[in-house]
Structure 1
Amino acid sequence: MAPQAADQTAKKPVPDKSELKYNLNESGTHFFKVTLLNQSWFRFNQSNPGSTVVQDLANNTFDIGLRRTRIQAFGQISDRIFLYFQYGMNNFNYQNGFPSFNTNGTPSNRKVAAFFHDAVGEYLVFRNKDYLKIGSGLTVVNGLSRFSQPSVSTIMSMDLPVFAQATVDQTDEFSRKLSLYARGQVGPIDYRVVITDPFPIQTNGATPPALGTNANFALKGHHKQYQGFFMYQFLDKESHQTPGYMTGTYLGKKSIVNLEAGFITQQNAMWRREGNTGASTDTTYQNMNLWSVATFLDMPLNRRTGTAINAYLGYFHTDYGTNYLRFNGVMNPATGQATGTAPGGLGGTQGNAFPMFGTGSVVYSQLGYLMKQDLFGPATGTLMPYVQAQIANYQRISSTLGIYNVGVNYLIKGHNGKLSLDYQNRPYYQAAVDAANRLVPTGRAGQLTLQYQVFI
């Protein structure tokens, strides 16, 4: 009996000590796993003109914050059933909960920040084949682009091109949506198609903008949103385990060359007043139609030394209705805008904000180079410098908008432990407009950020 017991023991999978994973069967094909992520930011920002911090004018700011703090819990419960949860918080800095009273007049609470990002159940239709998976729940599975459903722990640059999360915190919950989807991989084709029940704009926690000649999300009516994303994979196939969450860089572990395309469409998602504002003018509803085409490359250059390259080039057509424009600043370090200094009468223009979302078009590109492993000696990690460019032409802006980033990752232990130093240069806008009532850039400002990421 003893030799038989020894043989049975030998067949058991050896636990991976780098994962928080519990096997539900002896082969490890059924499992449940937990991951933890924390991204701390230390940032110096040149403020947009007129920015205030707790009612004081602030030409620049230094802040410390948590960009993302997340817990994932997921697993293959049976051959066909997959369960996925994500819980956490985002953009937590000194002003969390500011102002002291919210729009309902009740006290704010800096402790109320964490929430469920995802709660998804998924069913594999064809056993042991990724041809078709059907899922539902609160999910990041999206159309438009890979950056609309990113794996934030594996992104190549310090942060994402947030404009690709097209309706973030407007009609979704931090880019997550209540959806029914089908996704799969058939040969070299990876696909996902989604029907979404969007949230009303009134529930996003901010005062909706007044109805005017420029399009905004409609406060009346409710229509389903339809999405799709498709990839043709020329070389290796990308990971397909978790719903959505597309890897930013495999750090030379795979050879990825993709053509990608995606879309989001929603009937009568937007509204505006025709002609001059006023009760006598008609309200016009407009569809939201967004689509993109892109190419993505992530592959080793020298397998012996570990060097690799990451590159992306995408074109985005962004139609939110006539003259739609939205400023946004990631984890904005300023709390307000001095009276009379907000460009175009728009909200949220303070601090590090720029016109991130708008009707028009965007070209986004990034390029990164992974240097040789153990660059500074045994077990010392390596560097990955990168550049990013976001070039946009929006109807409501007088000239091409350019957002440029340059940075470097110090990969202490791959994505599990890394430091990222990033410099961003952006335009800023003041109250001036041109003859066509478009915003005119009046200067440029910079932001320097150090991020420390720990992930297991």
Structure 2
Amino acid sequence: MALSGLLMTGAAFGQVTPPATGTAPAPAAPAPPPAVPTPAKSAPYGGGMKINISPDGSKYVRLMLWTQVFARYNENNTGTLRAPNQPKESQIDFGIRRSRMVLLAQLNPRFLIYTHLGINNQNAVSGGVSPTADGKKPQFFIHEAVTEYKVNKYLNLGAGLHYYNGISRLSSASTTSILPIDLPLTNFPTIDALDQFARWIGVYAKGRIGKFDYRVSMSDPFLTNLPTNAAYVAGGVQTGNPLGLGVTSATGINTGTNTAQYNPQNTSHVYQGYFSYNFLEPEANLLPYTQGSYLGTKRVFSVGAGFMFNKEGMYSRPTSSTVALSTLTPGADLYAAVPTDKHDIKLFGVDAFYDAPLDTTSRTAITLYGVYYNYNFGPNYVRFVGAENPGYGAAALRGNAVPQSGTGGVFYGQVGLVMPKNLLGPKARLQPYVAYQHANYEGLKTSTGDTKGVNIVDAGLNVLLDGHNAKVTFNYRPRPDFTNVNDVQYRPEITLQTQVFL
């Protein structure tokens, strides 16, 4: 029956309807051609490539990539080698200052996970697997790996390998929006000594209450990578410098130098905090990175203060400390045989940041930043660092190294101006800048006993092709060469940087 019904229905639909009588209808008007799409204007770039995994976008994965490449002329510090036993007064070199990526995800409004990976400071000489021997195969390592939980609108708690530093705004700076060509590095006073490239394994809390922002953290110090020479070896290097804290006379008496170094036996937690008040527009605080320049897109005026504390993070030997090496037996424990003084690491900073548009018609903007650091690492400590160093070997003053940190006071300031639009046509914008650092480290003394100040100037120009997402930077630095602290020479360092941030 069902089959018969279907056949009857099909027969009914299959009947031909006779044509209607009368005049045929006019043919339909032709469809208009499709409109040519207008080229879309370049939209302001957000915080990375976002992939929504929920319809409302509350669950997502985001990827950020950036690379900064240097081409540089450098007049080296006195005595620099370019290869084994190959002195080099100056050279043009090329390198990758940074190549990084951040992958973050929120699968719930209360939970955040992100990982930051990359390389730094690779050139033909340094930055490789053997960083003071060659630049081959740089270590691609984890900078950050964090999980975070939102307790309420005032408090977030996190843990992992984190970048929630104290001391200053620049101590957690974004490297994609730096105003000058680079950070002063003084803002990372313990970089790769107690930390992993300015990152720490620990826990942190952060949040915002009204216009007040805070971040605090407690972390483990990494074991220092400085040589310790813990066991005495007759005739070995330890006889000349037990624990890296003394010098030996011809009679075999080792005397302390009264210069602090990182304590290899440091097991105390590192405590950090940074607190700021923003008088104008709030800044994003989903991730730890602070903006270097907003290029006139926000009005920000923030003042802050911060600290870092590590109990007995340093040790030293006073010049009154003497050890007769002839009384030591091979294999003796130098930590027990050589008396040392322990020193707490106490670092403080206070800063102010102002970034605002000047004229909305011409789209000019100004960026101002200033910070004062007070660092205490123990007596006479000073450390030399050269970013993407073009000099060969492990000598502290090779290549482009400058006094990076030490016991004493430091002022650092920068000013930048986004010039009126259309100076270079409708696409590019110009942002000239100047940065200046003055430091007094007690470990840099002349033969007369006077402290020798450190003065570092950077002057340059950002060519903003697409904001910070595509820019070219030209920088000039008359770099102080402290090979002879009594006669500091200033060496030219000229750098061209290209940056792409997606």
TM-score, normalization by structure 2: 0.79
1:249 aligns with 2:293: yes
Contact persistence 1:144–1:262 (CA under 8 A):
yes
Indicate how the Cα distance of structure 1 residues 254 and 70 shifts in structure 2: closer, same or farther if over 3 A, else same.
same
For 2:64, the equivalent position in structure 1 comes to 35
CA separation in 1, counterparts of 2:51 and 2:205?
27
For 2:319, the equivalent position in structure 1 comes to 275
For 2:184, the equivalent position in structure 1 comes to 161
Contact persistence 1:266–1:289 (CA under 8 A):
yes
1:411 aligns with 2:464: yes
Contact persistence 2:158–2:204 (CA under 8 A):
yes
Indicate how the Cα distance of structure 1 residues 269 and 25 shifts in structure 2: closer, same or farther if over 3 A, else same.
same
Deviation at 1:276, TM superposition (A): 4.5
1:287 aligns with 2:344: yes
For 2:113, the equivalent position in structure 1 comes to 83
Structure 1 stretches lacking a partner, 5+ long: 1-14, 338-346, 433-438
Match of 1:114 among 115, 119, 140: 140
Deviation at 1:93, TM superposition (A): 0.5
Which residue identity does 1:284 align to in structure 2?
Answer: D
Contact persistence 1:274–1:282 (CA under 8 A):
no
For 2:500, the equivalent position in structure 1 comes to 454
Match of 2:197 among 174, 181, 189: 174
SS at match of 2:414: strand
Deviation at 1:374, TM superposition (A): 3.7
How many equivalent residue pairs?
417
CA separation in 2, counterparts of 1:59 and 1:454?
32
CA separation in 1, counterparts of 2:486 and 2:462?
34
SS at match of 1:351: coil
Match of 1:296 among 322, 331, 353: 353
For 1:139, the equivalent position in structure 2 comes to 162
Deviation at 1:372, TM superposition (A): 2.1
SS at match of 1:275: coil
CA separation in 2, counterparts of 1:62 and 1:159?
19
CA separation in 2, counterparts of 1:204 and 1:29?
49
Indicate how the Cα distance of structure 1 residues 98 and 136 shifts in structure 2: closer, same or farther if over 3 A, else same.
closer
Q: Which runs of 4+ in 1 moved over 4 A?
A: 15-19, 203-209
Contact persistence 2:227–2:244 (CA under 8 A):
no
1:50 aligns with 2:97: no
Match of 1:312 among 369, 381, 393: 369
For 1:445, the equivalent position in structure 2 comes to 491
Contact persistence 2:218–2:270 (CA under 8 A):
yes
For 2:97, the equivalent position in structure 1 comes to 67
Deviation at 1:221, TM superposition (A): 3.2
Q: CA RMSD in A?
A: 2.4
Which residue identity does 1:84 align to in structure 2?
Answer: Y
The 5-angstrom pairing of residues 228-239 of structure 1 reads 228-239=273-284
Match of 2:406 among 346, 350, 358: 358
Indicate how the Cα distance of structure 1 residues 112 and 351 shifts in structure 2: closer, same or farther if over 3 A, else same.
closer
CA separation in 1, counterparts of 2:310 and 2:486?
30
Q: Cα deviations across residues 247-294 of structure 1 (Å, max 9, x unaligned)? A: 111111110101110100100000001224643663000000000111
CA separation in 2, counterparts of 1:112 and 1:445?
28
TM-score, normalization by structure 1: 0.87
Q: Cα deviations across residues 104-126 of structure 1 (Å, max 9, x unaligned)? A: xxx98821421010100010111
Structure 2 stretches lacking a partner, 5+ long: 1-42, 230-236, 247-257, 325-337, 445-450
CA separation in 2, counterparts of 1:377 and 1:443?
41
Contact persistence 2:220–2:268 (CA under 8 A):
yes
The answer to which of 314-323 and 200-209 deviates more is 200-209
